[in-house]
Structure 1
């Protein structure tokens, strides 16, 4: 739990000035609570004796009460503000790290799990400043109660110290048990979220297959586990609450009995006995830290889960720029996942198709070529520069991606095409024309300024916008990962003409399962079981029955 505890400590520090405000309010409030029994005791003695302070001390009591209420209100405000700042800082850090790691992080953490850890778990950690500061502030009334009882009558102190020791042991055991239980509860939440995201992604398939009931049962299969952890947490909280709560009345009885004896012997006044009874309650107030300890336990458990995310190594970038070059792409001794020993040199300005059966590593090869993921071994270079040595801006400007199911980001259609590229309006329209998207975009209510939410599109139209985004961004290398699969034959031919026409000055790596696309390319990389089986022209490879079988067609 060391990494989790460090994260919780950092969350407290990132609360800005509000944890300090909360600490001041808690300390002043604790001081007011400590002063109130003394003031009330003096007021009682003055009223009974009819002394000159019979008017002053009630006013002092009212002032102390007002201060305690004001400190409590300020503490509530500071708790909320510090939690919001801590959660915001942590969410920003986690999201930045997830995006820095790249798509590789989803191999270990499902998307739903990432959502839970980024939202609910960071919110739990954000409550740590309030739990730590307010819980620690409870030590002040405890210490003050011990000191005050010692000043009133040392014989009363030993009983209070014994009770506080019992309460401290109960809280320690509760923190350990609650951290473990909360971790299981949060894990079950993540499991449900991951299954739900998968079900939403396949909602049309589920509806078509009529398996909604079965899928609902699968998504909610972790509910019994969630309930079990919730019940365990409730039992642990109830058990600790009963144990800690039972100490307070026992302490009061013991102190009142001892104080009564001291009163009859004349060693205590009635006011001192009242104050002693109040200080016992304050001293044993450590038991009220149970709620704060519970929040701290949930924060520690959540921090352990978030720390697993931040422990994933992110991609480091260099500072180099690309030299002037044609866009030569080279993979030398590359291995990653199913790919092993990939040695390929793609001359700049060429169109190269990547083909192979499902699972042969086509998409992984495309991801490696543009550094969406890094190889486990070997190097990938563009114009002689290893991709990790490039600065983020140099890599972003050089490489453009288009995917089978593009996710469009931005406020408008034009923003979606220019996303990440910073392209001008004319460059956006030129890219759209090359992707054969300009015609349907102009038919939209506001053309390129149409908000994405008001621009319903077919799968093929979305793919064309994804292609336009890649064309607007990739100045030297275009990577198309099955990015024309939803286009009709005529549109695909037009896009292919653009790839061999106005875009022929860029290197093009095209993952495809269509023979016509492979035939239009200059060269073909044929992957088989994670290795390059052949690298040549489509015409030369077509004579091989194994190559023809990739497209599941017979030889002409």
Structure 2
């Protein structure tokens, strides 16, 4: 699994290499859309019937035209001629009306299918991506994924909702016109068919080039999207370092590369269209010339020639449209290939086929890490945890402290099973996390990250994210417990106030209290607090710490602490350094014996404060 994810990540982020290395040279990747078409087989059949109806109606027009010329214009009696012409024109109008009805029905059905299938495809890709483990996002840019969700699916929509229908319609029309021409002028059309075969071979070469360049073009667009997504999420930093011009230049260079690739693709596609149309016109004009010679020799009638002219026009126009459609199909094949690559990615973190049930945890979960060895996939030579053993009894509060990079956050990620260990066991309530259902495992863990995540919705819905089925009263109660109720009610629309993208309308402390309220509402037996009070001022910190103390009752709590003052009264403090547990004990015990803990304390407290804390 890990290797497949790595391969996918390289394909996603390879940029130019991915484009240049695209080997598929056909529309075969479009077959990946078949599972999305199957649920709508009935509508596809209807669309096909309307399509065939429109094509056949078009093919009937030259026959009606022949009858008009040969029968409506030959009578010597003016009265009979007027009646005959009137009848033939009514027949032609009937053909036109039928064509209009069939075309309208075809347009509606294929447009509906295009919109519906594209929506299903977007939903499938998005649902698949959000299930990927953090390992996937270590090497995959968000902008790349967004490009596939938007640009690539739009190309697929163009094919399913328009180009494919036009291609099928013109294929039926072209083949029908060709058959009629062969029937009416077999010798001439045999010569034309021979010439057309010679047209196909160069067209295939052009098509392969267009296919490769289409994939490369999509990759370049994705590169630009990735840059834009990254910079727009960091605008304050960009502006604080006055790098606006540099970032604009970087984006400009990326779009220039995308434009250059698109120009090469367009040039090649234009050459394909020009070659096919020119060669086809030449072949069919030869057939038309032979037809006019046949009229001069008296072998066919004027109406027969008119019929032949219309069929020639239909055939030429069909081939011209098919040349355009073929280019669209090649571009959509490149987009489909990229989407199918994404859908084929399998996360290495999945629920087992037969998960073990987690025992009830009335007073909090039991947590156990035994001889855990873990290396991040992006840093396989550097152990993040090396032989770590930590046991936490139900209801205990245990703090993890240590310098940056000691492995504190890694412990949280392994408990949530964002990654799997390379050695040792991580268990909750006696069940190794590998053997538990992912949903059941994560449902009993409440997380308050250091960087609070606020969604672009109301304050009420942001808190309710912790338990979507919670009532408004339960949401408000959680907000009060997190000391967030007062500032929420002070917002223009109270709990219904829109908080902006990433909570830009709130201060850092307010965002943190929303996040804490969300975790309190979830009411999980295990709380993971990643320095939950780091963004608060002193007054707010005291209030929220009191709320957390209340929330931690009856459940197990693991706290990552950068400020030792927030965890002095924890049941136990575990000191980590370079991925190893170097000591464990109470604040007082560690001050007395742990050199690393003493250095950490000395960096945060004055000697007098340290003495006071020690005496406490």
Same fold by TM-score, threshold 0.5 exceeded? yes
For the pair 1:330 / 2:368, whether they are aligned, the reply is: yes
Distance 2:432 2:47 in 1: 51
For residues 302-317 of structure 1, the aligned pairs below 5 Å read 302-314=335-347, 315-317=349-351
Question: Does the CA contact (< 8 Å) of 1:167 and 1:286 recur in 2?
Answer: no
Structure 1 distance, partners of 2:237, 2:94, is: 68
CA RMSD of aligned residues (A): 2.9
Q: Counterpart of 1:508 in 2: which secondary structure? A: strand
Q: Is the 8 A contact 2:416 2:442 kept in 1?
A: no
Q: How does 1:340-379 map to 2 (within 5 A)?
A: 340-341=385-386, 342-375=388-421, 378-379=424-425
Match of 2:299 among 257, 262, 267: 267
CA distance in 2, matches of 1:540, 1:293: 76
Please tell me whether the aligned partners of residues 14 and 89 of structure 1 are also in contact (alpha carbons under 8 angstroms). Answer: no
Tell me the equivalent position of 1:58.
Answer: 89
Counterpart mapping for 1:178-197 below 5 A: 178-197=210-229
Are residue 457 (structure 1) and residue 502 (structure 2) matched? no
Distance 1:263 1:444, change over 3 A: closer
CA–CA distance in structure 2, aligned partners of residues 243 and 552 of structure 1: 79
Distance 1:539 1:139 in 2: 84
Partners of 1:550 and 1:289 in 2: CA distance? 72
Secondary structure (helix, strand or coil) at the match of 1:49 reads coil
Task: Indicate the residue corresponding to 2:578 in structure 1.
Answer: 529
Does 2:121 align with 1:90? yes
Number of aligned positions between the proteins: 556
* TM-score for both structures, normalised by structure 1: 0.90
- 2-side partners of 1:529 and 1:93: how far apart? 40
Conserved in 2, the CA contact under 8 Å of 1:14 and 1:86?
Answer: no
- Alignment deviations for residues 336-393 of structure 1 (CA, whole Å, 9 cap, x no partner): 4143444332222122222333334332321221234444555432101233544465
1:3-152 paired onto structure 2 within 5 Å: 4-13=29-38, 17-50=42-75, 53-129=84-160, 130-152=162-184
Distance 1:202 1:455, change over 3 A: closer
Q: CA deviation at 1:97?
A: 1.0
Within 2, Cα distance between the matches of 1:4 and 1:147?
Answer: 31
Counterpart-to-counterpart distance in 2, 1:15 and 1:289: 25
Check conservation: 1:116, 1:189, Cα contact below 8 A.
yes
Aligned partner of residue 519 in structure 1, secondary structure: coil
Residue 384 of structure 2 is matched in structure 1 by 339
Q: Tell me, in whole angstroms, the C-alpha distance in 1 between the residues paired with 2:210 and 2:175.
A: 26
Task: State the TM-score, normalizing by the size of structure 2.
Answer: 0.82
CA contact (8 A) 2:563 2:604 kept: no
Mapped pair 1:398 → 2:436: no
Moved more, 72-81 or 448-457: 448-457
Kindly report which structure 2 residues correspond to 1:381-420, keeping only aligned pairs within 5 A, or say none.
381-391=427-437, 394-409=440-455, 411-420=457-466
Deviations 1:495-522 (A, max 9, x none): 3344444523211122232122343332
Quick check: 1:255–1:277 contact (8 Å CA) kept in 2? no
Once residues 158 and 433 of structure 1 are traced to their aligned partners in structure 2, the CA distance between those partners, rounded to angstroms, is: 86
Cα distance 1:245–1:551, how it changes in 2: closer, same or farther (>3 A)? farther
Q: Deviation of residue 476 (structure 1)?
A: 0.7
| Aligned counterparts, 1:247-286, within 5 A | 247-284=279-316, 285-286=318-319
Structure 2: tracts of 5 or more residues without a match: 1-23, 377-382, 608-616
Q: Deviations over 1:29-56 (max 9, x none)?
A: 2112221122212211113422875443
Q: Provide, for residues 379-426 of structure 1, a one-character-per-residue CA deviation record: whole Å limited to 9, x for no partner.
A: 432101233544465335411111223223485323322214133445
User: Which residue of structure 2 lines up, in the alignment, with residue 503 of structure 1?
Assistant: 552
Residues 166, 9 of structure 1: alpha-carbon distance in 2 compared, 3 angstrom cutoff: farther
**Structure 2 vs 1, CA of residues 65 and 449 (structure 1 numbering), >3 Å: closer, same or farther?**
closer
Query: Which residue number corresponds to residue 251 of structure 2?
Result: 219
Are the counterparts in 2 of residues 142 and 283 from structure 1 also a CA contact under 8 Å?
yes
SS of 2:552's equivalent in the other structure is coil
Query: Structure 1 residues 265, 362: CA separation in 2 closer, same or farther (over 3 Å shift)?
Result: same
Does structure 2 retain, via aligned residues, the 8 Å contact 1:5–1:300? yes
Shift of 1:15: 5.6
In the alignment, structure 1 residue 483 sits paired with structure 2 residue 532:
yes
Residue 296, structure 1, aligned to residue 329, structure 2: yes
